[in-house]
Structure 1
Amino acid sequence: MEKEGKEKGLVYKNEMAWEIFSKIILKSKPSKIFILVDENTENHCLPYLLKKAGFETIPETIIIPEGEAHKNIATCLNVWETLSDKGADRNSMIINLGGGVVTDLGGFVASTFMRGISFINIPTSLLAMVDASVGGKNGVDLGHKKNQIGVIALPEMVILDTEFLKTLPKEHIVSGIAEMLKHGLIHSKAYWERIKNVDVSDNSAFNNLIWDSIEIKKEIVTKDPLEKNLRKTLNYGHTLGHAIESHFLEASNKNPLLHGEAVAVGLILATYISTEILSFPKETLEEVTHSIFNYFPKQSFTQNDIAAIINLMAFDKKNRNGKVLFVLLEDIGRHKCNCEVNNELIYKAFEYYKNF
């Protein structure tokens, strides 16, 4: 992924990334450059970008509200209108500087404005680096239903600069670790062993794990860019995780969860279900559950919560002919897609989670 080439969507890291960024700007000669940020990345990340980029003319900045609650068409409308008002044309470029909300929404805005303008993603959160940075998925939520509207379109490049992680609160770092744990579970026992007790304070080792996590996702996406089979494994833990995240967003008696916090619950539930359907080893289930609880506090679910979460799974994009389909594991690194799971087993999984 570090070789310079004509291919779009490549992830470049550290100083090489900024060198290639400058070359792309010089070569493409955008008529106008816009930087999309949220309120947090405007304050904490934009100054660093401007310092590293060395723009001849400072680009226009477009600011959106922070948080998943604003990842919707209404926000897109504001950005599209701002682009139009500020004279953007088909040769303009958007640089998306932020976490997954900014890169997902910014990529969708760029891919649809005037039928598509070029964009560059600069993920600033761990979650965005190891998840949203690879694969070209761009989109927004429909109400509280996750990622229902979107397109697959690749950025010109992705810049991975771990300096941005220094701006994050601890809970956002931990949120990103959920996706790295998922990569371990679907990829190999070797990576799982390295990530399950990662020392975040060991910068060199942690940065290597981040890059390896990106490589795992890239390998999967390259083999199956349109999510016909293998790429579905990246949704491990997400069928329930997305529904949990949506429920906590819309329920008046719940505090919203970060994406990784919801996925962490989903990983435990999916692994329990795997033991029941595919004979995933029970001793490994206990290891997985214990490792995840080392990072994430236990959440509370009533019977009504679980019923609402099951209803929300009807909107999962992997469903077919009205059936909710799961990715499950026979063992770490051994997956099976399109598994049907009955509601009774889902309730049993929540019971396991509660009583562990």
Structure 2
Amino acid sequence: MPAQNVTLTQDIALTLKAYFSDYKPGQIGVLVDENTKKHCYPLVKESLPPHSLCEIRSGELNKNLATCSQIWEWMTTEHFDRKALLINLGGGVIGDMGGFCAATYKRGIPFINLPTTLLAQVDASVGGKLGIDFKGYKNHIGLFQEPEQVIVYPHFVQSLPPEEVRSGFAEVIKHSLIRDAAYWPRVKAQGLEVADWTAHIAHSIDIKATVVDADFREGGLRKILNYGHTIGHAIESYFLETDRRLLHGEAIAIGMVAENLLSVKYCAMPQAEADEVSRFLLDIYGYREIATEDEEAIIQLTLQDKKNEGSTVKAALLEGIGKATYDISISAADVSEGLAYYRQYKP
């Protein structure tokens, strides 16, 4: 069952005009980066009521308090009151950070998301998780707050470079693996080259919305959405400040491979299934070197994972393709073991 506030449309102009014919906010602001301003804003500009525009720099490196200050200053300068509306036109960084700024400005103003990347359309814009990175820790500061509306326009994917599409595909893969074994053969057979993005987007939204509706604040079931993310987020954070930076989906793909080994160890995932999934991920994302000397820093980053309880690292793992479980305790040695399993696929 899709979330009631998510609309999948093939006509963004018509959908926006219909939305604003019924909803009359006060001031309207549109948050963009240099990429969405060039490629996506022209497709929606004429369908929006009068508004102001705020442009920030793209990329995970800019998902921080300094950029939030820029956004809050813009809202203040534009005299936004509590009936103002913020429209987040962009990928996961724009949606996470724009929503965070809206939810905290004057104790909260409404916002809507127009996700422009595949990653945001299938995952980041659905579910109400907002936040920013802090001191090298991903999404360390944030809150839960649903947008007024999420309007998903698959055509935006056509504006993306191939590496961004590949990054978003990791979450499509994840959703099938944690919840829908019957969909996995379709994901695997299509791969990236012949993928039906509209179908994949709709499927991922359905999966995520159903899980989120059952557990909005991540007290239990919603944790399954973090399969691949305990180790994957640590890898992403570790390499963020280096010249070996990984996109979110690239890091999560490594995390899924590493956590497949732990799924076999702790959740009785069949080894053949773990190998099947891992080989597919390596075929899509290739192999990225993670040296043994990188491990200690990555392990330390897993200690800051938001699912942890005290000093115990908790992971979401697979019992098999299509079935995930959560709150599985893993050790530093397990992280090393998972990364060693990943290294066996080195060409």
Do they superpose with TM above 0.5?
A: yes
Q: Which whole-Å deviations, capped at 9, do the CAs of 1:240-261 have from their partners, x for residues lacking one?
A: 00000000013x4x42100000
Query: Which segments of 5 or more consecutive residues in structure 2 lack a partner in the other structure?
Result: none
* In the alignment, structure 1 residue 119 sits paired with structure 2 residue 111: yes
Using the TM superposition, give the Cα deviation of residue 224 of structure 1 relative to its aligned residue in structure 2, in angstroms: 1.0
* In the alignment, structure 1 residue 175 sits paired with structure 2 residue 171: no
> Separation in 2 of the partners of 1:305 and 1:91?
48
Aligned to 1:354: 343
Q: Secondary structure at the match of 1:295?
A: helix
Whether the 8 Å CA contact 1:200–1:206 is kept in 2: the answer is: no
> Separation in 2 of the partners of 1:353 and 1:264?
10
Aligned to 2:130: 138
Which of residues 53, 69, 74 is equivalent to 1:61?
53
Identify if the C-alpha distance between structure 1 residues 68 and 19 changes in structure 2 by more than 3 Å, giving closer, same or farther: same
Aligned to 1:336: 325
Moved more, 325-334 or 103-112: 325-334
Identify if the C-alpha distance between structure 1 residues 201 and 288 changes in structure 2 by more than 3 Å, giving closer, same or farther: closer
Alignment size in residue pairs: 345
Aligned to 1:190: 182
Using the TM superposition, give the Cα deviation of residue 66 of structure 1 relative to its aligned residue in structure 2, in angstroms: 0.7
Report the residue type matching 2:235 in the other structure: I
- State the identity %: 40
Identify if the C-alpha distance between structure 1 residues 210 and 24 changes in structure 2 by more than 3 Å, giving closer, same or farther: closer
Whether the 8 Å CA contact 2:113–2:125 is kept in 1: the answer is: yes
Using the TM superposition, give the Cα deviation of residue 293 of structure 1 relative to its aligned residue in structure 2, in angstroms: 1.0
Aligned to 1:276: 265
Whether the 8 Å CA contact 1:239–1:313 is kept in 2: the answer is: yes
1:67-106 to structure 2, matched below 5 A, reads 67-106=59-98
Q: Which whole-Å deviations, capped at 9, do the CAs of 1:164-214 have from their partners, x for residues lacking one?
A: 1111000000000101111111012111111123254546x3311221111
> Separation in 2 of the partners of 1:308 and 1:201?
36
Whether the 8 Å CA contact 1:11–1:133 is kept in 2: the answer is: no
Aligned to 1:151: 143
Which of residues 44, 48, 52 is equivalent to 2:39?
44
The two structures have a TM-score, normalised by structure 1, of 0.93
Using the TM superposition, give the Cα deviation of residue 56 of structure 1 relative to its aligned residue in structure 2, in angstroms: 4.5
Identify if the C-alpha distance between structure 1 residues 199 and 269 changes in structure 2 by more than 3 Å, giving closer, same or farther: closer
Report the residue type matching 1:168 in the other structure: L
Q: Post-superposition, which runs of at least 4 consecutive aligned residues in structure 1 deviate over 6 A?
A: none
Aligned to 1:301: 290
Report the residue type matching 1:33 in the other structure: I
Report the residue type matching 1:318 in the other structure: K
Whether the 8 Å CA contact 1:14–1:161 is kept in 2: the answer is: yes
> Separation in 1 of the partners of 2:188 and 2:302?
28
* In the alignment, structure 1 residue 26 sits paired with structure 2 residue 36: no
* In the alignment, structure 1 residue 224 sits paired with structure 2 residue 219: no
* In the alignment, structure 1 residue 318 sits paired with structure 2 residue 316: no
1:202-221 to structure 2, matched below 5 A, reads 202=194, 205-221=196-212
Identify if the C-alpha distance between structure 1 residues 40 and 115 changes in structure 2 by more than 3 Å, giving closer, same or farther: same
Q: Secondary structure at the match of 1:227?
A: coil
Q: Secondary structure at the match of 1:140?
A: strand
Q: Secondary structure at the match of 1:325?
A: strand
> Separation in 2 of the partners of 1:126 and 1:20?
19
> Separation in 2 of the partners of 1:60 and 1:35?
6
Query: Which segments of 5 or more consecutive residues in structure 1 lack a partner in the other structure?
Result: none
Report the residue type matching 1:207 in the other structure: T
The two structures have a TM-score, normalised by structure 2, of 0.95
Whether the 8 Å CA contact 2:128–2:147 is kept in 1: the answer is: yes
Using the TM superposition, give the Cα deviation of residue 43 of structure 1 relative to its aligned residue in structure 2, in angstroms: 0.8
> Separation in 2 of the partners of 1:266 and 1:14?
33
Identify if the C-alpha distance between structure 1 residues 129 and 240 changes in structure 2 by more than 3 Å, giving closer, same or farther: same
Q: Secondary structure at the match of 1:35?
A: strand
